[in-house]
Structure 1
């Protein structure tokens, strides 16, 4: 069990460094060296693409999210080359944020319509954890346990609000913040929002007995 957990943690830390820290290091390193904003953003934006390509070369696998991210980066780079506008490259993050904003709207809508979205999102995890019988028992709580229904709705509402907040911060950062400040804000916004939301999730699901 220990041997399996350690590579997972190290892999997650490595991915966070490549996706979050390294682009900022490249951007602000280039700016400190006197490189202009356009080239700094261009070169820092290529970092995630290189990471995905290296992973593909090693594993011969390419997930849909990686393809989407590469498409957004490529489109923003083409547009920015045509316009010469550095802010266009920041707006690609706003486009990506809008996609996750649609997910947030789905979460919020499911609070009042049908079953909350996490009931479907968590299904595979519950099945892997407790098996088919455990999954049926967990899902049946929705029909028999009023407290469970209330707890799932609260949890879904919190995650939906967190997603929308991230979209708002991303849009403000991409369109309004100074160019040298925006990359740091855009890269820091989602962990600043997701980490406390995740901590609340763990606390609330245990307190309200929402786990399988």
Structure 2
């Protein structure tokens, strides 16, 4: 699993999109006079627009695309049923929790999300590396365990973040929504950093397993698939 500038930046993109963009837009919209409800709504939808454009360009509806559609639908519903800005501020918790449940389910059904999303970064389109990566899943119990562990860790992060966001927002009154909205981003930032660190600790062992399988195929020897290395 090689490292490069792109692989270092890409894991930070969700954080930039989901945290930085809404916060910056919210602050700018407040400066031009929008009230809290509309500032939060527009800031949240901006994230949805960015992801929707990316989904259309790829012509593929993945989990992120589904969550964005749900976010937009939820935003429209909220426009008609409430004017409490705190409800809008905790809106991301709904689809974050849904994503957490989905990721957790993939640990038991099919292949875990982290295995699938890490594959392009791990193989770089190299056919030999692709074959070794696939064989690692089929033959190496440690490889499967670590992939499931990483996915479960990320699922737990999403679930915990969704709960903490609600707690933080409702520690404040509706009149203090600006403070609660900004503070509600902090648990996600801290937890995301912790998840990235845990992933970084797992990568060397995963890379070693794939390397050994790839080398064994070149040498024509038996694969050390069950070894940690």
- TM-score, normalized by the shorter chain, greater than 0.5: yes
Contact 1:148 1:210 in 2 (8 A): no
Q: 1:6 to 1:96 in 2, by over 3 A?
A: same
Corresponding residue of 1:165 = 160
Corresponding residue of 1:106 = 105
1:96 Cα deviation from its structure 2 partner: 0.9
Corresponding residue of 2:200 = 202
1:161-198 Cα deviation digits (max 9, x unpaired): 33332232233245444421333244443332122222
Residue 79 (str. 1) matches residue 78 (str. 2): yes
TM-score, normalization by structure 2: 0.62
1:140 Cα deviation from its structure 2 partner: 1.4
1:55 Cα deviation from its structure 2 partner: 4.7
Aligned residue for 1:182, secondary structure, equals: helix
Q: In the aligned structure 1, how far is the partner of 2:147 from the partner of 2:7?
A: 28
Structure 1: give runs of 5+ residues left out of the alignment: none
Q: In the aligned structure 2, how far is the partner of 1:60 from the partner of 1:115?
A: 23
Q: In the aligned structure 2, how far is the partner of 1:13 from the partner of 1:156?
A: 17
Structure 2: give runs of 5+ residues left out of the alignment: 211-229
**1:161-200 matches, cutoff 5 A:** 161-177=156-172, 178-200=176-198
The structure whose residues are more often helix, as a share, is 1
Q: 1:71 to 1:124 in 2, by over 3 A?
A: same
1:75-124 Cα deviation digits (max 9, x unpaired): 223323332222222232121122023135436xx4xx799846854684
Aligned length: 199
